[in-house]
């Protein structure tokens, strides 16, 4: 039995879908080659950082209690700092999500009376209650602590409005700006590390003391350089996304200027203790090994995103980015325009997942989101979006956001199942 026969027999995928996917795959080979070249450079960057910091079996030993002199934990911070070309880093399993990690950075830097400005439009939904633009007063948001917030809308092309940014920085004493690299649940481009660097330079030329904080989620190892190379004071992300390589069971990282990383450590633990304590509890090996795998796993996720884009372009949907475009994160957006198709797509991705493939996703009131969300996620690590997943808010224009795939081959199956559902739905 050949491959296509096996797929048709085992997963009930039509010959029409198989032909469509094969055509799309042939068309995107140049994009695959570019992705593989970036992955090789990034793998070499990781290897150099491991070698320069003399990573050994000793670094995988667990600590308990206070975790003083945890050489594995402290060396992992140095490895991350070297890879991201930052002065320092804070990598901990204690961070429960990207939102927690970014929240830690914001609370670390900002003080009562300070002003925070989002210069890339609306932040990701789960940060709204952190900032205080959603949620009840008194819950402990930045707003409750006297931090003012200004949000600068993006221009019609999805790019930052430099004129309004200049006006805002000139009119206010802005302590920090946030820059979201990925599109989140928006319909705009993802910004490259270089574009973020140009934006940071623009801010610093107007207001040198303003701290530039980048939400780097979904962007790590997609390019050969990170925003810290281009002047970001702090970047933050989740280990169950790109840098965890599918092996990190939890955690997050912050990297950047040493004085700000120290403030983040004080916020995570306690002022005066910071990075000096915090038992690793045996997580070190998984965090190191996940980081080692990360460049390759990210390349697999990127290939899956490119294929998904090409397939659904062929099915007539609007996609962002297009299959031929250079990518700056692992997310693929498909605009369905109606609730039914969005839900059907997510159910297809779920059916093609290795875990919980028998589950039927339904929209629900997910904590931290203002609209109902449908989420397909058949992952070995709960909520790990470096593994194949798809989600979207149940609101116009009904966009699904697909990301991840530990292996291209498994992600390809999920995409085929989802495409097959759409084709059969059309009759």
Each residue's pLDDT tens digit, 388-411: 999 999 999 999 999 999 999 999
Whether 3-42+292-426 and 62-283 share one fold: the answer is: no
pLDDT at 371 over 90: no
Q: What is the pLDDT of residue 259?
A: 98
pLDDT at 93 over 80: yes
Mean pLDDT value across residues 103-120: 98
Least confident of 32-36, 150-154, 363-367: 363-367
With a pLDDT cut of 70, the percent of the chain lying above it is 99
A 10 A CB-CB count for 361 gives 21
Nearest to 127 by CA among 156, 161, 97, 162: 97
Share the mean pLDDT of the chain.
Answer: 96
Mean pLDDT value across residues 213-226: 98
Q: What is the CATH number of domain 62-283?
A: 3.40.640.10
The CA radius of gyration of the chain, in Å to the nearest whole number, is: 21
SS3 state of residue 91? strand
What torsion, rounded to 10 degrees, do the Cα atoms 375, 395, 318, 21 define?
Answer: 20
Beta strands in 111-233 (DSSP E): 115-118, 148-151, 176-180, 211-215
Listed by start position, the domains of the chain span: 3-42+292-426, 62-283
Q: Does domain 3-42+292-426 have CATH number 3.30.70.260?
A: no
pLDDT at 427 over 80: no
Q: Are strands 176-180 and 88-92 parallel, antiparallel or unpaired?
A: unpaired
pLDDT at 1 over 70: no
Burial class of 406 by CB neighbour count within 10 A (0 to 12, 13 to 18, 19+): buried
Helix (H), strand (E) counts: the chain: 12, 12
Distance of CA 381 to the CA centre of its chain: 15
Residue that is written with structure tokens 């992705």 in the block: 35
Q: What is the pLDDT of residue 367?
A: 76
Each residue's pLDDT tens digit, 265-320: 999 999 999 999 999 999 999 999 999 999 999 999 999 999 999 999 999 999 99
Q: What is the pLDDT of residue 185?
A: 81
pLDDT at 350 over 70: yes
């Amino acid at each position: 039995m050949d491959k296509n026969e096996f797929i048709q027999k085992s997963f009930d995928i039509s010959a029409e879908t198989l032909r469509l996917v094969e055509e799309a795959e042939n068309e995107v080979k140049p994009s695959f080659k570019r992705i593989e070249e970036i992955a090789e450079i990034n793998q070499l960057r990781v290897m150099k950082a491991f070698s320069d910091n003399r990573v050994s079996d000793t670094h995988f030993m667990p600590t308990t209690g206070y975790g003083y002199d945890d050489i594995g934990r402290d060396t992992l911070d140095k490895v991350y700092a070297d890879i991201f070309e930052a002065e320092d880093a804070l990598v901990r399993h204690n961070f429960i999500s990207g939102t927690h990690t970014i929240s830690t950075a914001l609370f670390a830097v900002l003080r009562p009376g300070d002003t925070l400005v989002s210069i890339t439009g609306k932040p990701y939904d789960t940060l709204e209650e952190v900032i205080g633009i959603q949620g009840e007063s008194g819950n402990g948001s930045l707003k409750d602590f006297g931090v003012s917030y200004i949000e600068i809308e993006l221009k019609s092309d999805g790019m930052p409005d430099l004129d309004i940014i200049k006006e805002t920085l000139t009119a206010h004493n802005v302590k920090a700006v946030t820059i979201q690299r990925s599109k989140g649940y928006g319909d705009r481009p993802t910004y490259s590390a270089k574009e973020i660097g140009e934006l940071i330079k623009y801010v610093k030329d107007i207001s040198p003391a303003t701290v530039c904080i980048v939400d780097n989620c979904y962007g790590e190892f997609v390019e050969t350089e990170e925003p810290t190379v281009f002047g970001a004071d702090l970047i933050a992300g989740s280990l169950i996304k790109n840098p965890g390589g599918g092996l990190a069971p939890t955690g997050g990282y912050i990297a950047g200027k040493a004085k700000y990383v120290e403030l983040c450590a004080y916020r995570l633990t306690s002022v005066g203790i910071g990075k000096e304590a915090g038992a690793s509890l045996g997580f070190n090996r998984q965090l190191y090994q996940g980081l080692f795998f990360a460049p390759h796993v990210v390349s697999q996720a990127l290939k899956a995103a490119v294929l998904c884009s090409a397939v659904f372009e062929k099915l007539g949907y609007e996609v962002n980015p297009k299959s031929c475009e250079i990518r700056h994160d692992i997310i693929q957006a498909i605009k369905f325009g109606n609730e039914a198709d969005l839900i059907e797509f997510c159910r297809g991705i779920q059916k093609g997942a290795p875990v919980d493939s028998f589950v039927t996703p339904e929209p629900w009131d997910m904590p931290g989101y203002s609209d109902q969300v449908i989420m397909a996620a058949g992952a070995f690590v709960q909520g790990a979006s470096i593994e194949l997943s798809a989600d979207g808010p149940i609101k116009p224009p009904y966009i699904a956001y697909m990301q991840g795939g530990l292996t291209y081959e498994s992600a390809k199956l999920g995409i085929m199942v989802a495409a097959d559902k759409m084709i059969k739905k059309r009759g």
